[in-house]
Amino acid sequence: MTQYSQLNPAERILMGPGPSSVSNRVLKALASPTLGHLDPQYVQIMDETCALLREVFQTQNKMTFPVSGTGMAGMETLAVNLLEPGDEALVCVNGAFGGRMKDVMERCGAIVHTVESAWGEIITDEAAAEAIAAHPKAKLFAIVHAETSTGAHQPLVNISKSAHDAGMLFLVDSVTSLGGHELQVDEWGIDAIYSGTQKNLSCPPGLSPVSFSDRALEVIEERKTKVKSWYLDVSMLRDYYMGNASGGRAYHHTAPINMTYALREALIMVREEGLENRIARHAEMHQRLRGGLEAMGLKYVPLHSLHNLNCVYIPDGTEDAAVRSRLLAEYDIEIGAGLGPMAGKAWRIGIMGHACTKRNVDLVLAALKEVL
């Protein structure tokens, strides 16, 4: 019989693009007794979790819930519900995750037109407006708020207005911004949005918070074809998360019960800190980290940088993998490598949620200085 060693993962200091470190409070919540997915006590816990998500999304959208799956499941949920074969869509591509949105929407049978800029740059208001004018039949306009592959922070307000003026839905990827950057779903006119639990919320990966406006739900209700994904069909999920006509909860799938506990606890921690205070903490630690990195001669990739994900060029003559391996082996610090055209050229240093502290910022600066 094969013998397996006792499970004993190392306690890493997660300073990469995600997942982020998880607090003991969240881990204890994760270990709470499992209930049935239709148990009245669990339904109450689930409802509280959805209400807390509305707070962090800053929305009144009733259809705000955690999709059972990681952030990519949220991306697919928006795409398969809002697009039908032959629909036109505008998708912004300035990094890996804009490219993924394009791929996912094309798999839905949509005709996708791209608004592109170089990796590390943002999509300008002018470029977005030109694309909207050039493709007036597009059903929706999709953009990444926090491009995880480059650390670019994308302004949204003016682009949202341009999309709405043209009668389009406005869709946003907030996987790396929710809970760490200013994000106002209702105020900014975001019709559909998705995120992940493993970034600024500091919850284990496994759920993808999403939110749909009434306008987006009307589009789903007026579909001429069935949603391609049974598992992600919002018209059925709504009867589970919001209740059916008789007020009961219709069984759809077995929800990840314990992950809901963990997300609820993580969101309560956001509420206790205060969302504005949490965003300010990420901004303050970004300035502290940035000052230290630039003092070492490291240059940022994006002009418009995220606070919680700092993407910097690797110094000439420095071996990417060797530095990251030493940080992991000698200091238990994980930082991220570059993706796509940035592979071997950039590091991605995350300061997200529970890991966004002076101690961690100063530690990664000291360790990186020593290794370099």
pLDDT by residue (tens digit) across 100-139?
999 999 999 999 999 999 999 999 999 999 999 999 999 9
pTM score of the predicted model: 0.96
Our CA dihedral for 182, 184, 188, 190, rounded to 10 degrees, sits at: 120
Q: What is the pLDDT of residues 36-90, one digit of tens each?
A: 999 999 999 999 999 999 999 999 999 999 999 999 999 999 999 999 999 999 9
257 Cβ partners below 8 Å, 6+ apart? 34, 35, 36, 37, 42
CB-CB neighbours of 63 under 10 Å: 20
Q: Which of 50, 40, 147, 37 is CA-nearest to residue 92?
A: 147
- HSE (CB half, 13 Å, CA atoms) of 15? 28
37 Cβ partners below 8 Å, 6+ apart? 251, 253, 254, 255, 257
3-state secondary structure of 347: strand
pLDDT at residue 131, as a whole number: 98
Q: What is the mean pLDDT of the chain?
A: 97
pLDDT at residue 183, as a whole number: 98
Contact 234, 89 (CB under 8 A): no
C-alpha–C-alpha distance, residues 309 and 352, integer Å: 8
> What CATH class is the domain 13-18+274-371?
alpha beta
- Amino acid identity at 71: G
Average pLDDT over residues 363-367: 98
Longest dimension (CA), the chain: 67
C-alpha–C-alpha distance, residues 99 and 111, integer Å: 14
User: Is the pLDDT assigned to residue 3 strictly greater than 90?
Assistant: no
What are the boundaries of each domain within the chain? 13-18+274-371, 24-270
pLDDT at residue 363, as a whole number: 98
Q: What is the pLDDT of residues 229-252, one digit of tens each?
A: 999 999 999 999 988 767 788 899
Average pLDDT over residues 333-348: 97
Q: What is the pLDDT of residues 177-192, one digit of tens each?
A: 999 999 999 999 999 9
Average pLDDT over residues 254-261: 97
> What CATH class is the domain 24-270?
alpha beta
Contact 85, 110 (CB under 8 A): yes
